[in-house]
Chain A
């Protein structure tokens, strides 16, 4: 069980939307490519990999605090992220509204 005081984000795997705990949309993880994290170029940081297709960095969202990640997304909405449903700062929620 995750401690309810632990900061987390909400992820909907059907719409691929990442939201704050207050349900503010942060971004949609809708990369059109068939990208595997394991096949991306490694960097000096284990938290970041490089994508050749867009020449962008992809950040492992499990390796950074929720607050810092939200700040990074708000500063740069085009930032690329990797989300694993098993990471502890993610709550899976499917909104059928």
Chain B
């Protein structure tokens, strides 16, 4: 029976899940997966920006992310000008791809939740966002991520 499209991916590859904390990594190991553990290293290429405006009377703030929409209104003053930052956070500083025992060397797979940072979307205001998932090849020891900016940097669809 053909899988529902949402249970698969565009090339119908086997999906490799990611565990993002010690408990789920160990549960997966007990279930027969080999956890391929990686350090989470935020890339300098991934960035967003924010500015803070504050109401001059009430002290309430507005966080701004889009240059096109000004500074928050006449009652507000900018107290932090646009500043770049890394906009993602994760529950633990490491994570693991859960490798099935029957994976074959050279097998193309689909990493559902990428641990590594690659640019998946960019904006003409300078912001760059993470790629969420990507294809990879198992070489017997590691996953070789098949990142191609021409294909993987794209608009948001869904």
Chain B 133-144 interface mask (CB, 8 Å, partner A; 1/0): 111000000000
Contacts of B50 in A (CB 8 A): 94
B155 to chain A, nearest CB (A): 5
Contacts of A86 in B (CB 8 A): 123-124
The number of residues on chain B lying at the interface, defined by a beta carbon within 8 Å of a beta carbon of chain A, is 31
**Complex Cα gap A82–B157 (Å):** 4
Judge whether B68 is part of the interface by a CB distance below 8 angstroms.
yes
Q: Which of A4, A11, A81, A96 contacts B157 (CB 8 A)?
A: A81
The number of residues on chain A lying at the interface, defined by a beta carbon within 8 Å of a beta carbon of chain B, is 33
**Complex Cα gap A80–B154 (Å):** 15
Chain B 117-158 interface mask (CB, 8 Å, partner A; 1/0): 000010111010100011100000000000000011011111
Q: Does B154 contact A36, Cβ atoms closer than 8 Å?
A: yes
A residues near B, CB below 8 A? 1-2, 4, 11, 13-14, 16, 27-37, 53-54, 58, 80-86, 91-94, 96
By Cβ-Cβ distance, the 9 closest A-B pairs, closest first, are: A29-B158, A31-B158, A85-B123, A33-B10, A83-B156, A92-B66, A2-B68, A29-B156, A30-B158
Told that A31-B158, A34-B154 touch, could you supply 16 new A-B pairs with CB distance under 8 A? Answer: A1-B68, A13-B48, A13-B123, A30-B158, A32-B133, A33-B9, A34-B9, A35-B157, A36-B154, A54-B5, A82-B157, A83-B156, A84-B156, A91-B69, A94-B87, A96-B63
